Structures are given as structure tokens and as C-alpha cells.
Amino acid sequence: YVHEALLQASLQSFATKHPAFGETVQIVKKTPIAAFRRVLQLIVRHNWTARPLFVDFDGAWNEEEVAKLESNFVKMRPVLPPMVIITNEDPVGSRWTRDGPTPLLLKRIVALAKSVLKVLDMNYENEKAVDIKSALLSVDMSIYDAVIEIFPKMVVRTGVSEKTPLVKDPEALPVVNFDPVDELVYALNAHFQNVALFFWNRYGGDHIGVIWKPYELEVPAKISRCSTHYASKTGASSLLLNKDEVLEGIRILGEHPRFSKFKNAGRAAEQQAKRREDAMERQRNSRFDHFNHTRKLAENEEDDEEIIDAERDHREEQEKPQDLRKKRYKS
């Protein structure tokens, strides 16, 4: 909480000095597209491996201090995260990026920024304007090693993309903190995050992209790795990632009752409606039989079936063999 408060104070001070900063970072329809483009250019062009990103809110650094920070960065580079952002309050640059992104995620971020930047450049260069909204919301699934398709009824955060329009049902009850896709991704990470990365759009996405971690494709032969890897031959010194087994585990996890009940929601509703109709039919028949029996009693009418049943019970009672043995009683 202390670091976040310091960052907010620095941003407030910077926004006071530069009035255009507020309009640039606001996530509204009036956000300047040029500023967004410059942010994308920074992500794409900056060499995150060789240099840190300096963010001097107060303009307090001189050339010597910057050189000293760069020297410290070079010395500590092996233990620093892939993305290093040095600020006045964080001279090391790992406070906000210590937990991520990983090298593979950073590569994905740069590639995504590059593709978005390409769309914006096409909008400027072409005579015909490009539909930026649809272009930015479209996802190229060919970059993933595998794709998990989500059942549409499991996507509860709808209304964000064109594929998942918002459906309003006045009779539906509001549900809070219920997201089957989020739970599925959590389960996928819990089981397979050591060998794969999962990408999905939390706000209306109907696909989950899977990318194998490069350093997990071939690992040294160890017993602890046999759950997700296999030996290509007897006595091999390395193990290969068993992609088919991992994908089969993902498929089984997706069909787990905890998630499959959401996929069968329509079928379950039909079965429930049929059971309700059968129960109501039994109640109607029972009520009709009761009224019919009461009417016959009031009119002194006897039911032929009841007479037959009574005679059969009496005959069975008469034909029952009697036990002629003497009964022993305890004195």
C-alpha cells in the first residue's frame, strides 16, 4: 500500500506539470490515439534485455546518476526481472515487475503491441479508414500451439465483444463472483503451469490459447519430470514433453463435473422441466383417484377392483398354512 500511494503521488505531481497527461491515460473514448500509439512504440522499440526503462517524474536525475543506475543494472541483470522500470522511489526497478511478466510473456506483449501498432499505421496510411475497434478485438489464434474452445454459455462476462452480446433476462437472478471460465483457467494453471502458458480474454473471450514453455520441451531425465515428459528411447539422458498427454489432461479437466454442468445447462433445464411435468401429472392422477373414491363412497358405489382385491386378500388369508407346532413360552 505504501508503494502504491507513492506512485499515485508521483503521477499526480506529473499530471500537474503536464496537463496533457491526464487525457492521455484516461480509458475513455476521447483518449488521444496518438499518445496510445507512442506507448505502443515504446513497448516495441525499447530493448528490455539490455536497458532499463527510466521514469523520472521529478526530473531529479543528472547524467552521472543515470550512468550509475545503468551500471548497477548491468551488475544485477542476472537476478533482475525481464522488464525493469526504474523510478525515483525504486532505483532497482523490480518493485512492480518482480512477479511478471516472464520472458515469454514479455515477448508476447511486444508482439501484441507490434500488431496493434501495425493496425494504427494502416489507419493513417490507407485512404479508406480501418475499423480500429474490430481490428483490435480480433485475435490471431494461429500463434498458439493449441486452442481451447469455450462453450458459449460458460462465458458470463458478456457484452464486451461482438461475439458475446449482452443478454438481458428480466427473470434471471443476479449472480456475483461466478465465472466458470476464470475457474477453468485457474485449474489449468494449477495443473499445467509448469509446462504451458494460458492466454484468454477475461471479458467475453471464447477461446483459451496454449503456448508450450520452450525450456520444458526437453528436460534432463529425472523421476520428478516423468508425469508430463517421456523418454524417446531407453537410456535417454533427456525427456521430451508429452504434449498429447497434457492435452488429454486438459480435455478431461474441461469435462470435469464441476465445469461440465455448465456446458449441459440447456439439457439439464429440459430434463428438469420434464421431471416437473411428470410430477404434476402424478399429482393430478392422485387427486382424481381421491375425488373418484370419495364420490363413490358418498353414492354408496363399490369399486369392482376394490371388491376383487378384497376377495383375493381373504382367499389368501384362508389358504395360508397354519403353524401346528406348539409354541414355547418362557416361564
- 139-159+179-256 CATH: 3.30.70.3030
Domain range annotation of the chain: 1-133, 139-159+179-256
Work out the end-to-end distance of the chain between its first and last CA atoms, rounded to an integer number of angstroms. Answer: 87
50: left (phi over 0), alpha (psi -120 to 50) or beta: alpha
What is the model's pLDDT at position 32? Answer: 64
Q: What is the pLDDT of residues 206-246, one digit of tens each?
A: 889 898 988 888 888 887 777 788 888 877 788 888 888 88
What is the model's pLDDT at position 103? Answer: 86
Where the chain has pLDDT below 50, the residues are 1, 27-30, 161, 164, 324, 326-327, 329-331
For residues 259-282, b (16+ Cβ closer than 10 Å) or e, as one string? beebbeeeeeeeeeeeeeeeeeee
What is the model's pLDDT at position 166? Answer: 54
- Has this prediction a pTM greater than 0.75? no
Residue among 55, 160, 43 at smallest CA distance from 105: 43
CA distance 158 to 152: 10
What is the model's pLDDT at position 235? Answer: 77
CA distance 305 to 326: 39
CA distance 199 to 143: 11
